[in-house]
Structure 1
Protein backbone atom coordinates (compact mmCIF):
# COMPACT_ATOMS: atom_id res chain seq x y z
CA UNK A 1 0.00 0.00 0.00
CA UNK A 2 1.29 3.46 -0.93
CA UNK A 3 1.66 5.67 2.10
CA UNK A 4 0.79 9.28 1.32
CA UNK A 5 3.27 11.57 3.04
CA UNK A 6 4.44 15.12 2.72
CA UNK A 7 6.93 15.78 -0.08
CA UNK A 8 6.72 12.29 -1.62
CA UNK A 9 5.25 13.14 -5.04
CA UNK A 10 7.31 13.76 -8.17
CA UNK A 11 5.93 15.71 -11.14
CA UNK A 12 7.63 15.08 -14.47
CA UNK A 13 6.81 17.73 -17.07
CA UNK A 14 6.11 21.37 -16.16
CA UNK A 15 4.53 22.65 -19.35
CA UNK A 16 1.13 24.33 -19.80
CA UNK A 17 -0.62 21.66 -17.71
CA UNK A 18 2.18 20.35 -15.52
CA UNK A 19 3.16 23.72 -14.05
CA UNK A 20 -0.31 24.30 -12.60
CA UNK A 21 -0.60 20.71 -11.40
CA UNK A 22 2.77 20.89 -9.64
CA UNK A 23 1.83 24.22 -8.04
CA UNK A 24 -1.34 22.77 -6.53
CA UNK A 25 0.38 19.58 -5.34
CA UNK A 26 3.00 21.82 -3.74
CA UNK A 27 0.33 23.95 -2.06
CA UNK A 28 -1.11 20.76 -0.57
CA UNK A 29 2.31 19.85 0.83
CA UNK A 30 2.85 16.70 -1.27
CA UNK A 31 5.45 17.88 -3.80
CA UNK A 32 8.89 16.34 -3.37
CA UNK A 33 10.49 16.55 -6.81
CA UNK A 34 10.13 18.15 -10.24
CA UNK A 35 11.70 17.27 -13.57
CA UNK A 36 11.76 19.37 -16.74
CA UNK A 37 14.35 20.28 -19.36
CA UNK A 38 13.15 23.89 -19.44
CA UNK A 39 15.21 25.91 -16.95
CA UNK A 40 12.53 28.58 -16.69
CA UNK A 41 9.91 25.99 -15.74
CA UNK A 42 11.92 24.72 -12.77
CA UNK A 43 13.49 28.01 -11.67
CA UNK A 44 11.00 28.68 -8.88
CA UNK A 45 11.86 25.33 -7.26
CA UNK A 46 15.66 25.61 -7.32
CA UNK A 47 15.85 27.30 -3.93
CA UNK A 48 13.31 25.02 -2.24
CA UNK A 49 15.08 22.89 0.36
CA UNK A 50 12.55 20.01 0.39
CA UNK A 51 12.00 19.76 -3.37
CA UNK A 52 14.44 17.88 -5.59
CA UNK A 53 15.04 19.35 -9.05
CA UNK A 54 16.12 17.16 -11.99
CA UNK A 55 17.69 14.63 -9.62
CA UNK A 56 16.43 11.26 -10.81
CA UNK A 57 18.23 8.94 -8.38
CA UNK A 58 17.32 10.83 -5.20
CA UNK A 59 13.82 11.38 -6.57
CA UNK A 60 13.29 7.64 -6.99
CA UNK A 61 14.53 7.00 -3.46
CA UNK A 62 12.34 9.60 -1.79
CA UNK A 63 9.12 9.67 -3.84
CA UNK A 64 6.36 7.06 -3.93
CA UNK A 65 4.05 8.65 -6.51
CA UNK A 66 5.19 9.83 -9.95
CA UNK A 67 2.88 12.09 -11.93
CA UNK A 68 3.78 12.35 -15.61
CA UNK A 69 2.52 15.36 -17.57
CA UNK A 70 4.42 14.76 -20.81
CA UNK A 71 3.26 14.42 -24.44
CA UNK A 72 2.52 10.68 -24.48
CA UNK A 73 2.59 7.30 -22.74
CA UNK A 74 5.35 6.31 -25.16
CA UNK A 75 7.55 9.05 -23.70
CA UNK A 76 6.81 7.82 -20.17
CA UNK A 77 7.85 4.31 -21.20
CA UNK A 78 11.11 5.72 -22.58
CA UNK A 79 11.81 7.71 -19.41
CA UNK A 80 11.32 4.58 -17.32
CA UNK A 81 12.73 1.77 -19.48
CA UNK A 82 15.30 3.26 -21.90
CA UNK A 83 19.00 2.61 -21.39
CA UNK A 84 19.30 5.56 -19.00
CA UNK A 85 15.79 5.06 -17.62
CA UNK A 86 14.75 5.18 -13.99
CA UNK A 87 13.34 1.65 -13.65
CA UNK A 88 16.39 0.36 -11.75
CA UNK A 89 15.90 3.06 -9.13
CA UNK A 90 12.11 2.91 -8.70
CA UNK A 91 10.89 1.24 -5.52
CA UNK A 92 8.39 -1.59 -5.39
CA UNK A 93 4.97 -0.17 -4.58
CA UNK A 94 5.56 3.04 -6.52
CA UNK A 95 2.47 4.42 -8.28
CA UNK A 96 2.78 5.91 -11.77
CA UNK A 97 0.05 8.40 -12.68
CA UNK A 98 -0.12 8.99 -16.44
CA UNK A 99 -1.81 12.32 -17.27
CA UNK A 100 -1.06 12.19 -20.99
CA UNK A 101 -3.49 11.91 -23.89
CA UNK A 102 -2.49 8.57 -25.39
CA UNK A 103 -3.47 5.42 -27.22
CA UNK A 104 -5.15 3.10 -24.68
CA UNK A 105 -3.27 0.12 -26.12
CA UNK A 106 0.02 1.75 -25.10
CA UNK A 107 -1.42 2.47 -21.65
CA UNK A 108 -2.41 -1.18 -21.16
CA UNK A 109 1.00 -2.40 -22.32
CA UNK A 110 2.84 -0.08 -19.95
CA UNK A 111 0.60 -1.13 -17.06
CA UNK A 112 1.37 -4.82 -17.63
CA UNK A 113 5.09 -4.17 -17.96
CA UNK A 114 5.20 -2.17 -14.72
CA UNK A 115 3.32 -4.93 -12.89
CA UNK A 116 6.37 -7.17 -13.43
CA UNK A 117 8.28 -4.74 -11.21
CA UNK A 118 5.45 -4.48 -8.66
CA UNK A 119 4.80 -0.90 -9.72
CA UNK A 120 1.21 0.30 -10.13
CA UNK A 121 -0.10 2.40 -13.00
CA UNK A 122 -3.13 4.65 -13.45
CA UNK A 123 -4.01 6.17 -16.83
CA UNK A 124 -5.76 9.44 -16.13
CA UNK A 125 -7.38 11.38 -18.90
CA UNK A 126 -7.87 14.98 -17.81
CA UNK A 127 -10.08 17.79 -18.98
CA UNK A 128 -10.30 21.42 -17.95
CA UNK A 129 -7.30 22.79 -19.82
CA UNK A 130 -4.44 24.88 -18.51
CA UNK A 131 -6.90 27.12 -16.65
CA UNK A 132 -8.25 24.10 -14.78
CA UNK A 133 -4.72 22.97 -13.98
CA UNK A 134 -3.88 26.43 -12.60
CA UNK A 135 -7.08 26.62 -10.56
CA UNK A 136 -7.05 23.02 -9.34
CA UNK A 137 -10.40 22.27 -11.00
CA UNK A 138 -9.53 19.55 -13.51
CA UNK A 139 -11.75 16.54 -14.11
CA UNK A 140 -10.01 13.15 -14.27
CA UNK A 141 -11.25 9.94 -15.92
CA UNK A 142 -9.13 7.13 -14.54
CA UNK A 143 -8.32 3.59 -15.64
CA UNK A 144 -6.63 1.04 -13.39
CA UNK A 145 -7.12 -0.61 -10.03
CA UNK A 146 -9.67 1.19 -7.88
CA UNK A 147 -7.72 0.46 -4.69
CA UNK A 148 -4.67 2.28 -6.09
CA UNK A 149 -6.84 5.22 -7.07
CA UNK A 150 -8.21 5.36 -3.54
CA UNK A 151 -4.68 5.39 -2.13
CA UNK A 152 -3.52 8.37 -4.20
CA UNK A 153 -6.81 10.27 -4.37
CA UNK A 154 -5.73 12.85 -1.72
CA UNK A 155 -2.92 13.86 -4.09
CA UNK A 156 -5.14 13.94 -7.16
CA UNK A 157 -7.76 15.96 -5.31
CA UNK A 158 -5.21 18.75 -4.83
CA UNK A 159 -5.53 19.66 -8.52
CA UNK A 160 -8.97 18.30 -9.44
CA UNK A 161 -12.56 18.68 -8.30
CA UNK A 162 -13.99 15.58 -9.99
CA UNK A 163 -12.51 12.06 -10.13
CA UNK A 164 -14.13 9.25 -12.11
CA UNK A 165 -12.93 5.64 -12.05
CA UNK A 166 -14.04 4.37 -15.46
CA UNK A 167 -12.59 0.86 -15.68
CA UNK A 168 -9.45 -1.18 -16.30
CA UNK A 169 -6.08 0.09 -17.51
CA UNK A 170 -6.45 1.93 -20.80
CA UNK A 171 -10.05 2.97 -20.21
CA UNK A 172 -9.13 6.38 -18.83
CA UNK A 173 -7.21 7.26 -21.97
CA UNK A 174 -9.90 5.76 -24.21
CA UNK A 175 -12.58 7.94 -22.64
CA UNK A 176 -10.32 11.00 -22.83
CA UNK A 177 -9.97 10.52 -26.59
CA UNK A 178 -13.74 10.16 -26.98
CA UNK A 179 -14.27 13.21 -24.77
CA UNK A 180 -11.87 15.29 -26.85
CA UNK A 181 -13.44 14.09 -30.09
CA UNK A 182 -16.81 15.35 -28.90
CA UNK A 183 -15.37 18.63 -27.58
CA UNK A 184 -13.48 19.48 -30.76
CA UNK A 185 -16.39 18.47 -32.99
CA UNK A 186 -18.69 20.78 -31.00
CA UNK A 187 -16.15 23.59 -31.40
CA UNK A 188 -16.23 23.19 -35.18
CA UNK A 189 -20.03 23.07 -35.27
CA UNK A 190 -20.20 26.30 -33.25
CA UNK A 191 -17.70 27.96 -35.58
CA UNK A 192 -19.80 26.88 -38.56
CA UNK A 193 -23.06 28.17 -37.06
CA UNK A 194 -21.67 31.51 -35.87
CA UNK A 195 -20.05 32.25 -39.21
CA UNK A 196 -23.19 31.17 -41.10
CA UNK A 197 -25.34 33.48 -38.94
CA UNK A 198 -23.39 36.47 -40.23
CA UNK A 199 -24.97 35.86 -43.65
CA UNK A 200 -28.35 36.46 -42.01
CA UNK A 201 -27.04 39.64 -40.36
CA UNK A 202 -27.04 38.06 -36.90
CA UNK A 203 -24.08 39.05 -34.75
CA UNK A 204 -21.76 36.35 -33.34
CA UNK A 205 -22.45 37.66 -29.84
CA UNK A 206 -26.20 37.25 -30.30
CA UNK A 207 -25.80 33.71 -31.65
CA UNK A 208 -23.81 32.65 -28.60
CA UNK A 209 -26.21 34.43 -26.24
CA UNK A 210 -29.15 32.51 -27.73
CA UNK A 211 -27.26 29.20 -27.77
CA UNK A 212 -26.53 29.61 -24.07
CA UNK A 213 -30.21 30.23 -23.35
CA UNK A 214 -31.27 27.18 -25.34
CA UNK A 215 -30.45 23.55 -25.98
CA UNK A 216 -27.34 24.32 -28.05
CA UNK A 217 -25.41 25.50 -25.01
CA UNK A 218 -22.13 23.77 -24.22
CA UNK A 219 -18.75 24.48 -22.67
CA UNK A 220 -17.74 25.79 -26.08
CA UNK A 221 -20.57 28.34 -26.19
CA UNK A 222 -20.49 29.20 -22.49
CA UNK A 223 -16.73 29.63 -22.13
CA UNK A 224 -14.59 29.05 -25.19
CA UNK A 225 -16.38 31.45 -27.54
CA UNK A 226 -16.93 34.38 -25.14
CA UNK A 227 -13.50 34.20 -23.53
CA UNK A 228 -11.19 33.09 -26.34
CA UNK A 229 -12.90 33.85 -29.67
CA UNK A 230 -15.39 36.73 -29.52
CA UNK A 231 -13.11 38.59 -27.12
CA UNK A 232 -10.43 38.68 -29.82
CA UNK A 233 -7.92 37.29 -27.34
CA UNK A 234 -7.29 34.02 -29.27
CA UNK A 235 -5.83 32.46 -26.15
CA UNK A 236 -7.36 29.00 -25.70
CA UNK A 237 -3.85 27.85 -24.68
CA UNK A 238 -3.75 24.81 -26.92
CA UNK A 239 -2.29 24.46 -30.42
CA UNK A 240 -3.96 23.16 -33.56
CA UNK A 241 -1.43 20.31 -33.55
CA UNK A 242 -2.74 19.18 -30.15
CA UNK A 243 -6.29 18.94 -31.46
CA UNK A 244 -5.15 17.15 -34.59
CA UNK A 245 -3.25 14.60 -32.49
CA UNK A 246 -6.34 14.01 -30.32
CA UNK A 247 -8.66 13.48 -33.28
CA UNK A 248 -6.26 11.21 -35.14
CA UNK A 249 -5.84 8.96 -32.11
CA UNK A 250 -9.59 8.94 -31.45
CA UNK A 251 -10.54 8.03 -35.01
CA UNK A 252 -7.72 5.46 -35.19
CA UNK A 253 -8.95 3.53 -32.14
CA UNK A 254 -12.51 3.62 -33.47
CA UNK A 255 -11.48 2.50 -36.95
CA UNK A 256 -9.52 -0.39 -35.45
CA UNK A 257 -12.77 -1.65 -33.94
CA UNK A 258 -14.83 -0.83 -37.05
CA UNK A 259 -16.88 1.72 -35.10
CA UNK A 260 -18.49 4.38 -37.34
CA UNK A 261 -17.16 7.89 -36.67
CA UNK A 262 -18.21 10.27 -39.48
CA UNK A 263 -18.31 13.39 -37.29
CA UNK A 264 -14.95 12.66 -35.70
CA UNK A 265 -13.41 11.83 -39.07
CA UNK A 266 -14.62 15.07 -40.67
CA UNK A 267 -13.27 17.11 -37.77
CA UNK A 268 -9.97 15.26 -38.06
CA UNK A 269 -9.83 15.98 -41.80
CA UNK A 270 -10.46 19.71 -41.25
CA UNK A 271 -7.68 19.79 -38.66
CA UNK A 272 -5.40 18.09 -41.20
CA UNK A 273 -6.16 20.98 -43.57
CA UNK A 274 -5.25 23.46 -40.84
CA UNK A 275 -1.94 21.69 -40.37
CA UNK A 276 -1.27 21.79 -44.11
CA UNK A 277 -1.63 25.59 -44.25
CA UNK A 278 0.86 26.06 -41.43
CA UNK A 279 -1.40 26.42 -38.40
CA UNK A 280 0.19 23.62 -36.36
CA UNK A 281 1.60 26.00 -33.73
CA UNK A 282 -1.35 28.42 -33.88
CA UNK A 283 -3.80 28.73 -30.99
CA UNK A 284 -6.75 26.61 -32.07
CA UNK A 285 -9.25 29.41 -31.39
CA UNK A 286 -8.02 31.02 -34.63
CA UNK A 287 -9.63 28.19 -36.60
CA UNK A 288 -12.64 30.52 -36.40
CA UNK A 289 -10.86 32.93 -38.73
CA UNK A 290 -9.88 30.27 -41.27
CA UNK A 291 -12.99 28.08 -41.28
CA UNK A 292 -14.23 28.73 -44.85
CA UNK A 293 -10.70 28.35 -46.16
CA UNK A 294 -10.33 24.97 -44.43
CA UNK A 295 -13.67 23.74 -45.78
CA UNK A 296 -12.80 24.86 -49.31
CA UNK A 297 -9.46 23.06 -49.15
CA UNK A 298 -11.17 19.93 -47.83
CA UNK A 299 -13.76 20.02 -50.63
CA UNK A 300 -10.99 20.21 -53.24
CA UNK A 301 -9.38 16.99 -51.99
Structure 2
Protein backbone atom coordinates (compact mmCIF):
# COMPACT_ATOMS: atom_id res chain seq x y z
CA UNK A 1 0.00 0.00 0.00
CA UNK A 2 1.26 3.46 -0.93
CA UNK A 3 1.69 5.82 2.03
CA UNK A 4 3.74 8.84 3.06
CA UNK A 5 6.52 6.65 4.40
CA UNK A 6 7.15 4.61 1.25
CA UNK A 7 6.04 7.00 -1.49
CA UNK A 8 7.90 9.79 -3.25
CA UNK A 9 5.69 11.57 -5.75
CA UNK A 10 6.97 13.02 -8.99
CA UNK A 11 5.04 15.68 -10.90
CA UNK A 12 5.76 16.90 -14.42
CA UNK A 13 3.79 19.81 -15.84
CA UNK A 14 3.41 22.81 -13.54
CA UNK A 15 0.90 24.74 -15.62
CA UNK A 16 -2.52 26.32 -15.07
CA UNK A 17 -3.86 23.08 -13.59
CA UNK A 18 -0.72 21.15 -12.68
CA UNK A 19 0.55 23.73 -10.22
CA UNK A 20 -2.57 23.40 -8.05
CA UNK A 21 -2.63 19.62 -8.38
CA UNK A 22 1.01 19.25 -7.35
CA UNK A 23 0.31 21.61 -4.45
CA UNK A 24 -2.45 19.35 -3.12
CA UNK A 25 -0.11 16.35 -3.10
CA UNK A 26 2.58 18.34 -1.33
CA UNK A 27 0.09 19.70 1.21
CA UNK A 28 -0.99 16.13 1.98
CA UNK A 29 2.52 15.49 3.28
CA UNK A 30 4.08 13.52 0.42
CA UNK A 31 7.67 14.21 -0.63
CA UNK A 32 7.42 15.88 -4.05
CA UNK A 33 9.94 15.93 -6.90
CA UNK A 34 9.06 18.07 -9.90
CA UNK A 35 10.28 18.83 -13.40
CA UNK A 36 9.53 21.85 -15.55
CA UNK A 37 11.46 23.19 -18.53
CA UNK A 38 12.14 26.37 -16.53
CA UNK A 39 12.72 26.25 -12.79
CA UNK A 40 11.08 29.66 -12.33
CA UNK A 41 7.64 28.15 -13.00
CA UNK A 42 8.06 25.94 -9.96
CA UNK A 43 9.34 28.51 -7.46
CA UNK A 44 6.16 28.53 -5.35
CA UNK A 45 6.26 24.75 -4.95
CA UNK A 46 10.00 24.73 -4.31
CA UNK A 47 9.52 27.30 -1.55
CA UNK A 48 7.02 24.89 0.05
CA UNK A 49 9.47 21.99 -0.01
CA UNK A 50 9.32 20.43 -3.47
CA UNK A 51 12.60 19.38 -5.11
CA UNK A 52 13.22 20.46 -8.70
CA UNK A 53 14.94 18.20 -11.25
CA UNK A 54 16.26 19.32 -14.62
CA UNK A 55 15.08 16.26 -16.58
CA UNK A 56 12.25 13.71 -16.45
CA UNK A 57 15.00 11.17 -15.79
CA UNK A 58 15.82 12.92 -12.53
CA UNK A 59 12.20 12.59 -11.44
CA UNK A 60 12.04 8.91 -12.47
CA UNK A 61 15.15 8.10 -10.44
CA UNK A 62 13.71 9.67 -7.27
CA UNK A 63 9.98 8.99 -7.36
CA UNK A 64 7.89 5.82 -7.37
CA UNK A 65 4.60 7.49 -8.33
CA UNK A 66 4.81 10.05 -11.14
CA UNK A 67 2.03 12.30 -12.40
CA UNK A 68 2.28 14.06 -15.76
CA UNK A 69 0.04 16.73 -17.22
CA UNK A 70 1.67 18.44 -20.18
CA UNK A 71 0.40 20.18 -23.30
CA UNK A 72 0.35 17.97 -26.37
CA UNK A 73 0.86 14.33 -27.37
CA UNK A 74 4.37 15.17 -28.60
CA UNK A 75 5.16 16.52 -25.12
CA UNK A 76 3.91 13.25 -23.64
CA UNK A 77 6.16 11.33 -26.03
CA UNK A 78 9.14 13.45 -25.02
CA UNK A 79 8.54 12.93 -21.29
CA UNK A 80 7.90 9.18 -21.45
CA UNK A 81 10.29 7.92 -24.12
CA UNK A 82 13.97 8.23 -24.95
CA UNK A 83 17.08 7.90 -22.83
CA UNK A 84 15.96 10.63 -20.42
CA UNK A 85 12.33 9.50 -20.37
CA UNK A 86 10.27 8.08 -17.54
CA UNK A 87 9.95 4.56 -18.91
CA UNK A 88 13.66 3.97 -19.50
CA UNK A 89 14.57 5.33 -16.06
CA UNK A 90 11.59 4.44 -13.89
CA UNK A 91 11.84 2.13 -10.91
CA UNK A 92 10.39 -1.36 -11.27
CA UNK A 93 7.00 -1.48 -9.60
CA UNK A 94 6.53 2.28 -9.87
CA UNK A 95 3.39 3.99 -11.18
CA UNK A 96 3.13 6.41 -14.09
CA UNK A 97 -0.10 8.43 -14.23
CA UNK A 98 -0.60 10.56 -17.34
CA UNK A 99 -3.32 13.15 -16.79
CA UNK A 100 -2.69 14.95 -20.07
CA UNK A 101 -5.55 14.82 -22.54
CA UNK A 102 -3.81 12.83 -25.24
CA UNK A 103 -4.36 10.22 -27.94
CA UNK A 104 -5.80 6.88 -26.77
CA UNK A 105 -3.31 4.99 -28.95
CA UNK A 106 -0.43 6.80 -27.26
CA UNK A 107 -1.80 5.76 -23.86
CA UNK A 108 -1.80 2.14 -25.03
CA UNK A 109 1.78 2.49 -26.31
CA UNK A 110 2.93 3.89 -22.96
CA UNK A 111 1.15 1.09 -21.11
CA UNK A 112 2.76 -1.62 -23.25
CA UNK A 113 6.28 -0.20 -23.03
CA UNK A 114 6.04 0.49 -19.30
CA UNK A 115 4.83 -3.05 -18.64
CA UNK A 116 7.91 -4.44 -20.41
CA UNK A 117 10.00 -2.59 -17.80
CA UNK A 118 7.90 -3.74 -14.85
CA UNK A 119 6.23 -0.34 -14.47
CA UNK A 120 2.51 0.31 -14.02
CA UNK A 121 0.93 2.88 -16.36
CA UNK A 122 -2.43 4.60 -16.07
CA UNK A 123 -4.09 7.11 -18.37
CA UNK A 124 -6.14 9.45 -16.21
CA UNK A 125 -7.17 12.64 -18.03
CA UNK A 126 -9.17 15.17 -16.08
CA UNK A 127 -12.02 17.63 -16.51
CA UNK A 128 -12.85 20.65 -14.40
CA UNK A 129 -10.34 23.26 -15.53
CA UNK A 130 -8.47 25.60 -13.22
CA UNK A 131 -11.39 25.75 -10.80
CA UNK A 132 -11.54 21.97 -10.40
CA UNK A 133 -7.77 21.82 -9.99
CA UNK A 134 -7.72 24.53 -7.32
CA UNK A 135 -10.60 23.01 -5.34
CA UNK A 136 -9.48 19.37 -5.82
CA UNK A 137 -12.83 18.56 -7.42
CA UNK A 138 -11.66 17.33 -10.79
CA UNK A 139 -13.41 14.57 -12.67
CA UNK A 140 -10.80 11.89 -13.35
CA UNK A 141 -11.30 9.25 -16.04
CA UNK A 142 -9.03 6.24 -15.64
CA UNK A 143 -7.75 3.57 -18.01
CA UNK A 144 -5.27 0.78 -17.25
CA UNK A 145 -5.14 -2.29 -15.04
CA UNK A 146 -7.77 -2.28 -12.28
CA UNK A 147 -5.27 -3.34 -9.61
CA UNK A 148 -2.99 -0.40 -10.40
CA UNK A 149 -5.95 1.97 -10.31
CA UNK A 150 -6.99 0.72 -6.87
CA UNK A 151 -3.44 1.23 -5.59
CA UNK A 152 -3.20 4.88 -6.65
CA UNK A 153 -6.85 5.80 -6.08
CA UNK A 154 -6.16 7.37 -2.64
CA UNK A 155 -3.73 9.75 -4.36
CA UNK A 156 -6.24 10.56 -7.09
CA UNK A 157 -8.75 11.37 -4.35
CA UNK A 158 -6.46 14.22 -3.28
CA UNK A 159 -7.06 15.77 -6.71
CA UNK A 160 -10.62 14.94 -7.68
CA UNK A 161 -14.09 14.22 -6.39
CA UNK A 162 -15.40 12.11 -9.27
CA UNK A 163 -12.95 9.31 -10.02
CA UNK A 164 -14.20 6.56 -12.31
CA UNK A 165 -12.34 3.51 -13.62
CA UNK A 166 -13.30 3.15 -17.29
CA UNK A 167 -11.42 0.01 -18.36
CA UNK A 168 -8.25 -1.09 -20.11
CA UNK A 169 -5.40 1.18 -21.21
CA UNK A 170 -6.65 4.01 -23.42
CA UNK A 171 -10.15 3.96 -21.92
CA UNK A 172 -9.51 7.07 -19.85
CA UNK A 173 -8.47 8.98 -22.96
CA UNK A 174 -11.46 7.74 -24.95
CA UNK A 175 -13.74 8.87 -22.11
CA UNK A 176 -12.08 12.31 -22.13
CA UNK A 177 -12.84 12.52 -25.85
CA UNK A 178 -16.52 11.95 -24.99
CA UNK A 179 -16.21 14.77 -22.46
CA UNK A 180 -14.66 17.16 -24.97
CA UNK A 181 -17.23 16.32 -27.65
CA UNK A 182 -20.03 17.15 -25.21
CA UNK A 183 -18.35 20.40 -24.17
CA UNK A 184 -17.59 21.53 -27.73
CA UNK A 185 -21.15 21.94 -28.93
CA UNK A 186 -22.34 23.00 -25.47
CA UNK A 187 -19.96 25.97 -25.60
CA UNK A 188 -21.66 27.11 -28.81
CA UNK A 189 -25.05 26.91 -27.10
CA UNK A 190 -23.84 28.73 -23.98
CA UNK A 191 -22.34 31.55 -26.01
CA UNK A 192 -25.30 31.93 -28.33
CA UNK A 193 -27.64 32.05 -25.32
CA UNK A 194 -25.66 34.91 -23.75
CA UNK A 195 -25.53 36.86 -27.01
CA UNK A 196 -29.27 36.29 -27.53
CA UNK A 197 -30.04 37.59 -24.03
CA UNK A 198 -28.00 40.73 -24.68
CA UNK A 199 -29.66 41.41 -28.04
CA UNK A 200 -33.11 40.87 -26.52
CA UNK A 201 -32.39 43.60 -23.99
CA UNK A 202 -32.34 41.22 -21.03
CA UNK A 203 -29.92 41.28 -18.11
CA UNK A 204 -27.76 38.23 -18.91
CA UNK A 205 -26.83 37.71 -15.25
CA UNK A 206 -30.52 37.51 -14.34
CA UNK A 207 -31.13 35.16 -17.25
CA UNK A 208 -28.41 32.86 -15.90
CA UNK A 209 -30.24 32.66 -12.57
CA UNK A 210 -33.18 31.10 -14.39
CA UNK A 211 -31.53 28.83 -16.91
CA UNK A 212 -28.38 27.59 -15.16
CA UNK A 213 -30.32 25.40 -12.72
CA UNK A 214 -32.89 24.08 -15.19
CA UNK A 215 -32.68 21.65 -18.07
CA UNK A 216 -30.14 23.90 -19.82
CA UNK A 217 -27.75 23.73 -16.88
CA UNK A 218 -24.13 22.72 -17.43
CA UNK A 219 -20.70 23.28 -15.91
CA UNK A 220 -19.85 25.65 -18.75
CA UNK A 221 -23.04 27.67 -18.28
CA UNK A 222 -22.45 28.04 -14.54
CA UNK A 223 -18.70 28.65 -14.61
CA UNK A 224 -17.78 30.12 -17.98
CA UNK A 225 -20.81 32.25 -18.89
CA UNK A 226 -20.14 34.58 -15.90
CA UNK A 227 -16.56 34.98 -17.12
CA UNK A 228 -17.88 35.98 -20.55
CA UNK A 229 -20.09 38.63 -18.96
CA UNK A 230 -17.16 39.94 -16.92
CA UNK A 231 -14.97 40.09 -20.03
CA UNK A 232 -12.63 37.67 -18.29
CA UNK A 233 -10.96 35.61 -20.97
CA UNK A 234 -8.01 34.39 -18.93
CA UNK A 235 -7.40 30.66 -19.47
CA UNK A 236 -8.87 28.11 -17.15
CA UNK A 237 -8.33 25.93 -20.19
CA UNK A 238 -6.45 27.21 -23.25
CA UNK A 239 -8.14 27.45 -26.63
CA UNK A 240 -5.00 25.95 -28.21
CA UNK A 241 -5.33 22.87 -26.00
CA UNK A 242 -9.05 22.55 -26.71
CA UNK A 243 -8.32 22.60 -30.44
CA UNK A 244 -5.76 19.84 -29.86
CA UNK A 245 -8.38 17.78 -28.02
CA UNK A 246 -11.00 18.27 -30.71
CA UNK A 247 -8.49 17.26 -33.37
CA UNK A 248 -7.75 14.01 -31.52
CA UNK A 249 -11.48 13.32 -31.09
CA UNK A 250 -12.16 13.92 -34.79
CA UNK A 251 -9.30 11.60 -35.76
CA UNK A 252 -10.63 8.88 -33.46
CA UNK A 253 -14.16 9.38 -34.80
CA UNK A 254 -12.85 8.98 -38.34
CA UNK A 255 -11.12 5.74 -37.36
CA UNK A 256 -14.47 4.49 -36.06
CA UNK A 257 -16.28 5.62 -39.23
CA UNK A 258 -18.35 8.11 -37.20
CA UNK A 259 -19.63 11.50 -38.32
CA UNK A 260 -19.29 14.32 -35.79
CA UNK A 261 -20.85 17.45 -37.35
CA UNK A 262 -21.24 19.32 -34.06
CA UNK A 263 -17.62 18.74 -33.12
CA UNK A 264 -16.49 19.72 -36.62
CA UNK A 265 -18.38 23.02 -36.38
CA UNK A 266 -17.04 23.80 -32.91
CA UNK A 267 -13.46 23.16 -33.99
CA UNK A 268 -13.87 25.42 -37.02
CA UNK A 269 -15.02 28.29 -34.78
CA UNK A 270 -12.14 27.82 -32.36
CA UNK A 271 -9.69 27.52 -35.26
CA UNK A 272 -10.86 30.95 -36.40
CA UNK A 273 -10.39 32.37 -32.92
CA UNK A 274 -6.84 30.98 -32.84
CA UNK A 275 -6.13 32.63 -36.21
CA UNK A 276 -7.36 35.87 -34.66
CA UNK A 277 -4.73 35.61 -31.93
CA UNK A 278 -6.86 34.06 -29.19
CA UNK A 279 -5.10 30.69 -28.88
CA UNK A 280 -3.83 31.52 -25.39
CA UNK A 281 -7.21 32.75 -24.18
CA UNK A 282 -9.66 30.59 -22.23
CA UNK A 283 -12.32 28.65 -24.07
CA UNK A 284 -14.94 31.21 -22.94
CA UNK A 285 -13.40 33.60 -25.51
CA UNK A 286 -15.76 31.95 -27.98
CA UNK A 287 -17.95 34.88 -26.91
CA UNK A 288 -15.67 37.15 -28.97
CA UNK A 289 -16.38 35.17 -32.14
CA UNK A 290 -20.12 35.88 -31.90
CA UNK A 291 -19.72 39.39 -30.48
CA UNK A 292 -17.41 40.69 -33.23
Deviations 1:186-211 (A, max 9, x none): 11111112213334333322332221
Map of 1:98 onto structure 2: 98
* Aligned counterparts, 1:173-212, within 5 A: 173-212=173-212
Matched, 1:21 2:24: no
- Partner deviation per Cα, 1:150-189 (whole Å, 9 max, x = no partner): 1111111111112100111101011112101211321111
User: What per-residue deviation string (whole Å, max 9, x for no partner) do you get for residues 18-72 of structure 1?
Assistant: 11011000011123311112222222344566x4311656643432101011113
The alpha-carbon distance between structure 1 residues 30 and 141, as it changes in their structure 2 partners (threshold 3 A), is same
| Cα deviation, residue 97, structure 1 | 0.1
The CA deviation string for residues 103-138 of structure 1, in whole angstroms up to 9 with x for no partner, is 101111111111111111100010111121122111
- Contact kept, 8 Å, 1:52 with 1:59, in 2: the verdict is no
Q: What is the match of residue 283 of structure 1? A: 282
* Cα distance between partner residues in 2 of 1:72 and 1:89: 22
CA distance in 1 between counterparts of 2:289 and 2:262 reads: 19
Output the CA distance in 1 between the equivalents of 2:132 and 2:278.
Answer: 25
Alignment correspondent of 2:263:
264
Superposed CA RMSD in Å reads 2.1
Larger deviation, residues 175-184 vs 191-200? 191-200
Moved more, 93-102 or 234-243: 234-243
Corresponding residue for residue 224 of structure 1: 224
Measured after TM superposition, the shift of residue 282 of structure 1 is 2.5
Residue pair 1:139, 1:161 contacting (<8 A) in 2 also: yes
Report how far residue 236 of structure 1 moved. Answer: 4.5
Q: Distance in 1 between matches of 2:38 and 2:216?
A: 41
- Structure 1 unmatched runs, 5+: 294-301
Q: Distance in 1 between matches of 2:249 and 2:169?
A: 17
Per the alignment, residue 147 of structure 1 pairs with 147
Q: TM-score, normalised by structure 2?
A: 0.91
Gapped regions of structure 2 (runs ≥ 5) = none
* Number of residue pairs aligned between Structure 1 and Structure 2: 290
Change (3 A) 1:39 1:230: same
Larger Rg: 1
> Residue 280 of structure 2 aligns to a residue in which SS?
coil
Q: 1:73 touches 1:102 (CA, 8 Å); kept in 2?
A: yes
Deviations 1:236-286 (A, max 9, x none): 522221221121111221121111211111111111221222221223322
Residue aligned with 1:102, SS: coil
Larger mean CA deviation between 29-38 and 96-105 belongs to 29-38
Structure 1 length as normaliser, TM-score? 0.88
Q: Is the 8 A contact 1:124 1:173 kept in 2?
A: yes
Which SS does the other structure have where 2:223 is aligned? Answer: helix
Measure the CA separation in 2 of the matches of 1:243 and 1:73: 13
Q: Name the structure 2 match of 1:79.
A: 79
1:220-245 per-position Cα deviation (integer Å, ceiling 9, x unaligned): 2222212x111233335222212211
The 5 Å alignment of 1:124-139 reads 124-139=124-139
The corresponding residue for 1:296 is none
Confirm or deny: 8 A CA contact 1:143 1:166 kept in the other structure.
yes
Q: Show structure 1 runs of 4+ deviating over 6 A.
A: none
Aligned to 2:251: 252
Give the match's secondary structure for 2:102.
Answer: coil
